[in-house]
Amino acid sequence: MMDTQIVEAPDGATWEESGSKAKSFALSPDIILTSDPAGPRAEALRSLRTQLMERQLRRGKRGIAVCGPGGGVGVSFMAANLAVGFARAGANTLLIDANMRQPAIHDFIVPDRPVSGLAQCLSPHWDGYAGAIQANVMPNLSVLYSGGPDGEALEKLSGPRFQPLMAMCMRDFDFIIADTPPANLYADVLRVAAAAGHGLIVLRKHVSFVEDADALVGQLGASRVGVAGIVLNEY
């Protein structure tokens, strides 16, 4: 059984409800800032958060897509931990699981029941956006889950609903962090990064190749996406 920390919905939170019971969420041990706050990995994450707050948030750059040139480099880990870090620093943060290929944010911030998400928001049959955003899963942190794997992910991200959704989120939150699928497999990442405006590239020691990182930097530049930085995971 996974060791988790339960975070109850605060009074006044705008949960979708089943009966009278509000949703609750669990933080997995992979949220290092809560499971091992005094450890070296937590300190490294806090340092990265501080740099991003100075380079991005305080300069009015309110969105970032966390990207990896390939799979298995820790993109979802980084996105989830940074979102928690920004929230703990007082920024009203939205974490979006824009990886509709192999969603993973629900493994880090675990809802106690199935929830709607991005895939449903981008469907032409979905009425509005706000109902899918899980508000205040912890203080200052809201989450828009993926809504499950979707074989039409790129079509939905390229459709008419994604950009208005991002514009609404940019208006309503201080900072948006989006998880994305591997760039060497899916073009989704370029669409998400273009909507966010900036990308943070995650590499993993002994796994990622320099040429793959260079290719992703070039692709982001061609899409007019600013590169906020490159992070090397060593785990």
Alpha helices in the chain (DSSP H): 32-35, 40-55, 75-88, 105-108, 118-121, 153-157, 162-172, 188-196, 210-222
Q: 6 by DSSP, 3-state: which?
A: strand
pLDDT-flagged residues of the chain (< 50): 1-20
Which pLDDT tens digit goes with each residue over 196-214?
A: 999 999 999 888 888 889 9
Provide the CATH number for the domain formed by 41-233 in this structure: 3.40.50.300
Q: Are 225 and 197 in contact (CB under 8 A)?
A: yes
Amino acid at 191: R
167 is written with which tokens?
């514009």
In our burial notation (b when 16+ CB lie closer than 10 A, e otherwise), range 103-127 reads bbbbebbbbeeebbbbbbbbbeeee
Which pLDDT tens digit goes with each residue over 150-167?
A: 999 999 999 999 999 999
Q: Are 123 and 162 in contact (CB under 8 A)?
A: no
142 is written with which tokens?
């809201």
Q: Are 110 and 26 in contact (CB under 8 A)?
A: yes
pLDDT value of residue 60 = 85
pLDDT value of residue 33 = 95
Domain boundaries, the chain: 41-233
Given the structure tokens 């490159």, which residue do they identify?
A: 230
